[in-house]
Structure 1
Amino acid sequence: MTATIDAAPVSLDGANTDPVIRQVVRSRLIAVTDQMRLALQSVSGSPTVTEASDFFTGIYLPDGSFVTMGHQVTFEAPPVGSLIRHLLSNGTKLKDGDRIIGNDPFVGALHQNDVQMCAPLIVDGELLGWAGVMAHETDLGGMDFASWSPKATEVWQEGLRIPAVKLVDGGELREDVLDMILTASRLPAQVGLDIRAFIATLNVADDRLTELSRRYGTPTLLSVMHSMVDDAEVLVRARLRELPDGVVHTRDFLEHDGHENLLYVIDCVLTKRGDSLHFDFSGSSRQAQGFVNCSRAGLAGGVAGAVIPTLGFGIPWNEGMLRPVEITAPDGLVCTAVPPAPVGSATVEAVWTVSNVVSAALNRLLLASPNHAHRAQAVSSGTMATFNLSGRDRHHKVFGLHLMDPLAGGFGAFGDHDGQNAAGPINAPCPSIADVEVNEQKNPLFYHYRRLAPDTGGAGRRRGGLGAEVGLTVSVPQAEALVMTHGAEVPNSAGIGGGLPGGLIHQRFSESGGASRNLGPKPGSFPITPDDLFEVTWQGGGGLGDPLDRDVADVLDDIRYGVVGVAAALETYGVVLTDSADEVDPVATAAARRGIRAARLGVDPGSIPDPIPVSDDPADNGVRLSDRLVAAPNTSGTWEVRTTDGAVLSSGSTRWRDGAHRFAMTLPPTAGAHLHTDLAVTGWACPATGALLAVDVHLRDEHPFHDLDLDTNSLTGEDR
């Protein structure tokens, strides 16, 4: 550390070792983090903070490692740590009462809208640690309202960048710095109130930590903070040793960079050895000319956003969970962009897609672990469609809205239950959106509807949750809408183990009651009047397992509840209703399902047997890799992968695709109607029965790759 901090390091000598006292201190630290949340939401006037919880609060060790975090947005914990480490490395002189503000994506933020603040916690002349807060601000300047600039070619066009500046110096607010920041924004009152909320949040942390330190002693408090991080590391490493070793390869795409409808690849090769994880993103596309990139801070945030909730069940969420994680990627990729690349939409483009591929990779390992297969999950809500609205309200005052409703995408299916409807992304464990009435009260907005969208959940033995959809207009003569997304032509909510991806984003616009037109992924800015209607349907969650293995009673319930349409029930699930349409025809359903399996193989339906029912029982002398794939030793002791119906697909490795039946696949209309022209879909089926084993969305001119190459010794636990 080269920063000049007007405080001494804390010695841990004399720390209290009483386990009761230490547990009390742990609980108080977590409570302080929640008190920080309450302070932020109490002072802020932004619906993004008060309603949608798009923010982060946490406590950090002196070196910038986070000790606690709230359950808001998981990929926002590392960026504040990056800001702290930047301060520690650049010689900034810091003292008690300082509050530092920043938002530079090439220092530590995810994009310019994510304003972050931190404060050194100095008690009686000793540096105890740091408090941090971060939240999305609706507008920080730039060439377009909301600092989302689809036509940007340089980061300087996207709004004010604050590297790391003292906003409060020794307890005194620097009004000149605050004025400089607010002058850049189209919404100075809202941003100014949020910044004051940040200061209040850090003050709460400072007061509470000072009180704790004086009650239990600074050595005890800091010792407990260190042990919280160390304990989480021990627990997550133990969990990793329960998972098989090997290599998992996953890939996702985002389309259109704001200039051209090019397809960008986020490629992840996960190597798991013992109790460590190595993520390699070197195969990703070069950085884009448009605003879809993220910086290296965004890459770290995207990885954390999936690792923490996927592996963190029963484990305290802090830096200890990330200590076993190593990330490799050269500079200049779409996920490690360097200046002057624009990064304004990083959080909902490259960062979000990074979380998708990391989630997909980790869940393949969970699926191949007997102890954790029930927790394996398909990708949740693989994208977030952005809708910003600006103009003047009925009082002729400037208003601005960043709509958080798109958090209501579908949750991915689990190994033992369906995904929840409108439950949001994996990176927001406690998602929330404003009531319709709140949004209409605070903005000149009018909802025609907000509802669940049928057939958007990825089909499977376990179904992905439905995404929601809205129809909106305005209640002022005219406003300006800014609309953008990825996932309108890429099914990002990937399924797992034969499950289908969730439905695509579908954005539509009709002017003055005219015909609705498809907007595609990046329509950018356009005027909207009360006679117009903007409609958008968000992605559902991915499915798990072959849809033909879904219990017919569950499909019938889905139809009755309006979750699945009659046409989708027949075409995707092979379920035929009786003439009265209120019961399943078992004979016709069996024939329909056999016909779909035969069509996958290109054979006559009478020439194939029915697959054996899916069982939750463990595989004999082996491990289930998914619903219908088993890795086990054969009679000669060589490990092989076979289907549950007995077809041997590989010998000596888990690279099973060479032995499966490959066929060109058409996705259901909600997931494949507007598929990008550079993409193709390949299905993999059991060569004996036609049971679906996997679905790959891949570049049209490339062969699908093997996603799973496990160390067979680790499947038996010999090398763990």
Structure 2
Amino acid sequence: MTQPALDPIKFEVVRNALTQAAEEMAIALRRSAYSTNVKTRQDFSCAFFDKNLRSVAQAFTQPVHLGSFVRHVPIAVKRYGPENLGPGDMILSNDPYGGGVHLNDISLIGPVYYGDELVGYTACLAHHVDVGGGAPASVGAFREVFQEGIIIPPIKFVNNGNLDQDLFRLVVSQIRSKRETSGDFRAQIASNKTGTLRITEIIDRYGLDEFNLYIDEIIEYTDRRTQAEVDRLPKGVYQAEGFVDNDGFSDDVVKLAVKITINDEGVRFDTSGSDQQRRAPVNSTFAQTFSACAYALRCLMDKDLPVNDGFYRYVHVDAPEGTVTNCVHPAPVVGGWETHVRLNDLIFEALSPALPDEVCAGTKSMQCHSGFGGENHQTGEYYCFLETLAGGYGARSTSDGPDAVQSHGQNTENAPIEETESNYPVQITRYELVPDSEGPGEYRGGLGLRRDYTFPEEAT
């Protein structure tokens, strides 16, 4: 059968409609969420995958999540079995060894059907403020993943549009922040339902055949543009190594190493010189390492390049199993994003001799998770709070680094003092830039941040 000719105007309309469907998923999630971490700081991400589990469109949310989605969504769906999913079903998963990241980042994935035909999957991930384990906010100096919280393999959490109440009670019973977490789970369901509605409307307008045709072309268009961007990069091999100050349990430093090879086939990142995994919360999963590499490569390309399977296929990662950049069960992973950010800095350091005007100097080099919890004596509920604190960004070749921002793949916002104090039994007594904390130079690095908490009630 002859394929219809591609209309370039319709192509752009469909491409942007798919992106806006993902953006509306993000709006629905944010406006429905309960926790400050999700509704205000926007620590979540949303995306649409086609029926072949290729990334097609994503919201402008967290690069750290979106890069890891490329691993987690296909693995979770295949492990559960796409044949076991029908209209209105959604699976829940946070398995770090099944394409996931740390346990707080829980994904909800649902098939999109048009009539009886599978056309794709909506997916959203939210960083939940607590998933159980040995400390409030599930952040601590843990020695194995079992101490970090509930581990969820792909399970059918929503059946034909209805939340499975038995599974819901089972999951929430493991978690301290029951009200916030319950609300955030329901917000994720609303997000996926919104995405399904918008994708269906696009197909109603253009028909299923054209919908599939334009998805293929969107991915191939991105492939062609990515190849052109790779062709522009200086070919060669670039290396750097550095350290994480400690592993989160002991004072032993953790070595990270990266070798980057740029050739006509794409960009290959090799982390085989990094330390072996630790019995400490410093380990990254493969998905976290892939996300760091994908983010770094995307930063070197045209700012309006779409990000989908056509881009991700140029990201090649060699991260040996059993290292801190690709840990294996049962290594703890709660601090894996800290290692991820440090790896980003090393990637840019390696590339700086070849691309001095396109990469920045070192950043705060950490996510800087801050978490606490306890019983709120006014409500009688157990609460948890989590945020990542901003820090200095590296200078560029022509300008100073920004002060007190989230660096690299972090795209979360500030947790305002007023909202935090209104919703949690805590007082923030200082919130300020740290004088003289920048890296000096012709153009200075960004200033760091100080935030002091006072707890009128007992908290951990």
TM range (shorter): over 0.9
Check 1:255–1:380 CA distance in 2 against 1; reply closer, same or farther (3 A cut): closer
Contact conserved, 2:22 with 2:48, CA < 8 A, in 1?
yes
1:394 aligns with 2:383: no
SS in 2 for 1:366: coil
Which among 160, 168, 174 is matched to residue 150 of structure 2?
A: 160
Distance in 1, Cα, partners of 2:182 & 2:4: 41
- The CA distance in 1 between the partners of 2:4 and 2:175, in whole Å, is 47
Secondary structure in 2 aligned to 1:162?
Answer: coil
- 1:419 alignment counterpart: 401
For residues 420-446 of structure 1, the C-alpha deviation after alignment (integer angstroms, 9 at most, x for no partner) is 212320113x44112211111111121
Shift of 1:472: 2.0
Q: Distance in 2 between matches of 1:25 and 1:189?
A: 38
SS at match of 1:434: coil
> Residues 452, 259 of structure 1: CA spacing in aligned structure 2 closer, same or farther, 3 A cutoff?
closer
Give distance in 1, aligned partners of 2:302 and 2:377: 48
Match of residue 440, structure 2, among 456, 459, 463: 459
Q: Rg: which structure is higher?
A: 1
State the Cα distance separating 1:364 from its structure 2 match: 4.1
In structure 2, what residue type is equivalent to 1:479?
A: A
Q: What is the DSSP-based 3-state SS (H/G/I as helix, E as strand, rest coil) of the residue aligned with 2:355?
A: helix
Structure 2 length-normalised TM = 0.94
- 2:88 corresponds to which residue? 97
Q: Verify the 8 A CA contact 1:291 1:344 in the aligned structure 2.
A: yes
Instruction: State TM-score, norm by structure 1.
Output: 0.61
CA separation in 2, counterparts of 1:15 and 1:124?
Answer: 23
| Count of aligned pairs between the two proteins | 457
Q: Which residue of 2 aligns with 1:137?
A: 128
In the alignment, which residue of structure 2 is the partner of 1:115? 106
| Alignment CA distance shift 1:260-1:91 (3 Å) | closer
Are residues 1:403 and 2:384 paired?
no
Task: Tell me if the contact between 2:94 and 2:105 (Cα under 8 Å) persists in the aligned partners.
Answer: yes
Cα deviation for residue 17 of structure 1 reads 1.8
Structure 1: distance between partners of 2:299 and 2:365: 15
Secondary structure of the residue that 2:427 maps to in structure 1?
A: strand
The answer to whether the 8 A contact 2:286-2:327 is kept is: yes
Please report how far the alpha carbon of residue 362 of structure 1 lies from its aligned counterpart in structure 2 after TM superposition.
Answer: 4.0
Percent identity for Structure 1 against Structure 2: 27
Q: Structure 1: how far apart are the matches of 2:170 and 2:447?
A: 44
Taking a change above 3 Å as real, the CA distance of residues 25 and 297 of structure 1, as seen in their structure-2 partners, is same
Task: Write the mapping of 1:234-249 to structure 2, written as runs, cut at 5 A.
Answer: 234-249=224-239
1:317 and 1:364 map into 2 onto residues whose CA distance is: 26
Question: SS of the counterpart of 1:59?
Answer: strand
Partners in 2 of 1:354 and 1:225 — Cα distance? Answer: 33
Q: Relative to structure 1, is the Cα distance of residues 166 and 83 closer, same or farther in structure 2, using a 3 angstrom cutoff?
A: farther
Q: CA deviation at 1:325?
A: 1.6
Q: Which of the two has greater helix per residue?
A: 2
Q: Is the partner of 2:125 in helix, strand or coil?
A: strand
Instruction: Determine the structure 2 residue equivalent to 1:366.
Output: 355
1:310–1:427 CA distance, 2 compared to 1 (3 A)? farther
Distance in 1 between residues matched to 2:300 and 2:441, nearest whole Å: 21
**2:270 aligned partner, one-letter code:** D
When residues 410 and 229 of structure 1 are mapped into structure 2, their CA distance, relative to the original with a 3 A threshold, is: farther
Question: How far apart, CA to CA, are the structure 1 residues paired with 2:12 and 2:295?
Answer: 27
Partners of 1:258 and 1:358 lie apart in 2 by 22
Distance 1:325 1:419 in 2: 27
Residues 64 and 199 (structure 1 numbering): CA distance in 2 closer, same or farther, change over 3 Å?
Answer: same
- Structure 1's unaligned 5+ residue stretches are 1-11, 368-372, 481-720
Unaligned runs of 5+ in 2: none
Aligned equivalent of 2:172: 182
Which residue number in structure 2 is paired with residue 40 of structure 1? Answer: 29
Q: Which residue of 2 aligns with 1:435?
A: 416
> Helix, strand or coil: the match of 1:117?
strand
Q: By how many angstroms is 1:309 displaced?
A: 3.4
Contact 2:157 2:163 in 1 (8 A): yes
Change (3 A) 1:203 1:364: farther
Deviation at 1:70, TM superposition (A): 2.1
2:342 to 353, 357, 366: 353
Q: Secondary structure at the match of 2:370?
A: strand
Q: Contact 1:105–1:298 at 8 Å: present in 2 too?
A: no
Question: After superposition, what is the alpha-carbon deviation per residue over 1:466-518, rounded to whole angstroms, capped at 9, x for unaligned?
Answer: 12212221232x221xxxxxxxxxxxxxxxxxxxxxxxxxxxxxxxxxxxxxx
CA contact (8 A) 1:364 1:376 kept: no
TM-aligned CA deviation for residue 317 of structure 1:
2.3
Q: Distance in 2 between matches of 1:240 and 1:443?
A: 48
What secondary structure sits across from 1:479 in the alignment?
coil
- Map Cα deviations across residues 675-715 of structure 1 (whole Å, 9 max, x no partner): xxxxxxxxxxxxxxxxxxxxxxxxxxxxxxxxxxxxxxxxx
